[in-house]
Amino acid sequence: MAKILIVEARFYAHLNDMLLAGARAAIEAAGHDHETVTVPGALEVPGAVALAVESGRYDGFVALGVVIRGETYHFEIVAGESARGLMALTMDGVPIGNGMLTTENEAQAIYRADPKQGDKGGDAARAALAMLDLKARFER
């Protein structure tokens, strides 16, 4: 049984509730344990995962959050840099499922976050578990 850490950027609480529900359901359906930690925004997610990796307490990670395009360039920075940070950790062999939504508007985010529609939280959890299995295969 693996221990999975869900790291969520809680900026859009109502959307994150849906992402979390999907991720938790997928992890539990696969028979694994999970914990959740919350960070202020998407830029903090990779740092929290990196700190948790150093702790050695977790086998895999699910990154959740929502970045919705606004009127400024801020969207590109937040979306790009959070993705870059997660990808750097992935390239170092950390099993991460990336459920950071980057959408044009709230309607797109709702569809993607809702476990009965897009279920991107569940998809991210299943990706983390798949990468954890792959890591175990290569370590044999």
Half-sphere exposure of 11 (CA within 13 A, CB side): 18
Residue of 14, 32, 34, 74 marked active site: 74
In the structure encoding, which two tokens stand for residue 130, read together? 């798949």
Strand 60-68 versus strand 3-9 pairing type? parallel
CB 82 within 8 A of CB 117: no
In the structure encoding, which two tokens stand for residue 41, read together? 């925004």
Of 53, 51, 58, the closest CA to residue 35 belongs to: 58
Q: Where does 1-113 show beta strands of DSSP type E?
A: 3-9, 33-39, 60-68, 96-103
Specify whether 34 is catalytic: no
Kindly list the catalytic residues.
74
